[in-house]
């Protein structure tokens, strides 16, 4: 955006779609802030975040502070008079001095219809807890607390299928959030939007998914039906792509890769990965149980 100095603070999974939507609307940040490069793979070589890689293809300056107690971070960000900060899936909580730095504050995209599902896992929690009515995106102003700032605009998401796969919903809300951000940003800078306070009494909260919470206590020989089957399918869909659900049979862990419901509302498993074996269809797994 012409003559506006904007900093983008971002990470995954929403960061790249938001940047691409902003760029398509002619809104180009002067600086992109992201996490430092981290070791990955067998060789533990340093790998740059996807947001940094995107910035480099656009010849945009990148800043990667380890924290905001470091004096160099303050010097870097205080060196310019910024108009706006945009924060999308960034891994750090911004301190008060940073929130107060830009003239027009800090915009944030949150993947739920706030005040519902505040916190770190709104997308997967909506699936896990069967809350399609809370699914959508919110563009808000950041304040010092988590997801409590005034709302600029919201947009609901209408899933065609429910429960929906976690990775699919990640991608859908990333694209939707980026487009909404690109619409709101110029209007906010032009003074055309009046922020609306959240109703904090209606707030609900999410937590990080805990390791081990993805176990299903089921038998592959007698899969449940009805409400229990639907609840388990929600759990399977919520954990897809972030560890996947599993069950234990004959002292072996079997990871679930794809599942659904039958016509009579029974849980159906389509693809599994038995411990120590390659991925296979569930019927092949059942046949292996019967084999001598």
Over the chain (292 residues), what is each successive 10-residue block's mean pLDDT? Answer: 84 88 93 89 84 93 88 85 93 88 95 96 96 97 92 95 95 94 95 96 94 94 96 98 94 96 96 95 91 66
pLDDT of residue 191: 93
- Beta bridge mates, 161: none
pLDDT of residue 47: 86
pLDDT of residue 166: 96
pLDDT of residue 38: 87
Q: How far apart are CA 48 and CA 46, in angstroms?
A: 7
**DSSP conformation letters of the chain:** -TT--EEEEE-TTTHHHHHHHHHHTT---SEEE-PPPEEETTTTEEE--HHHHHHHHTT-EEE--S-SSSHHHHHHHHTS--SEEEEES-SSPPPHHHHTSSTT-EEEEESS-TTTTBSS-HHHHHHHTT-GGG-EEEEEE--SSTT-SPEEEEEE---SSSSPPHHHHHHHHHHHHHHHHHHHHHHHHTT----B---GGG--B--PPPTTTTB---BTTB--BHHHHHHHHHHHHHHTTTT--EEEETTEEEEEEEEEE-TTSBEEEEEEEETTS--EEHHHHHHHHH--
- Phi, psi for 252 (deg, rounded to 5): -115, 140
pLDDT of residue 128: 97
Global confidence as pTM:
0.90
pLDDT of residue 92: 84
pLDDT of residue 72: 81
pLDDT of residue 173: 94
């Amino acid at each position: 955006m012409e003559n506006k100095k904007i900093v983008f603070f971002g990470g995954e999974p929403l960061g790249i779609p938001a940047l691409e939507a902003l760029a398509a609307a002619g809104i180009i940040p002067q600086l992109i802030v992201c996490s430092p490069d981290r070791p990955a793979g067998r060789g533990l070589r340093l790998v740059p975040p996807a947001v940094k890689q995107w910035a480099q293809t656009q010849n945009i300056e990148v800043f990667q502070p380890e924290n905001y107690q470091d004096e160099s971070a303050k010097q870097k960000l205080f060196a310019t008079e910024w108009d706006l900060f945009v924060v999308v899936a960034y891994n750090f909580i911004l301190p008060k001095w940073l929130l107060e730095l830009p003239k027009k504050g800090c915009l944030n995209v949150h993947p739920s219809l706030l005040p519902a599902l505040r916190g770190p896992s709104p997308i997967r929690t909506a699936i896990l807890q069967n809350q399609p009515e809370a699914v959508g995106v919110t563009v808000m102003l950041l304040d010092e607390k988590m997801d409590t700032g005034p709302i600029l605009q919201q947009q609901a998401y209408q899933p065609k299928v429910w429960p929906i796969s976690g990775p699919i919903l990640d991608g859908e809300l990333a694209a939707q959030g980026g487009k909404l951000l690109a619409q709101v940003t110029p209007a906010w800078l032009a003074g055309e939007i009046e922020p609306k306070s959240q109703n904090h009494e209606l707030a609900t909260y999410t937590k990080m998914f805990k390791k081990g919470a993805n176990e299903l206590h089921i038998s592959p020989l007698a899969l449940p039906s009805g409400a229990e089957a639907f609840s388990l399918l929600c759990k399977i869909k919520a954990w897809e792509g972030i560890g996947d659900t599993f069950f234990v049979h004959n002292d072996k862990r079997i990871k679930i890769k794809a599942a659904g419901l039958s016509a009579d509302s029974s849980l159906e498993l389509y693809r599994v990965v038995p411990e120590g074996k390659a991925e296979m269809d569930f019927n092949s797994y059942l046949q292996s149980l019967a084999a001598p």
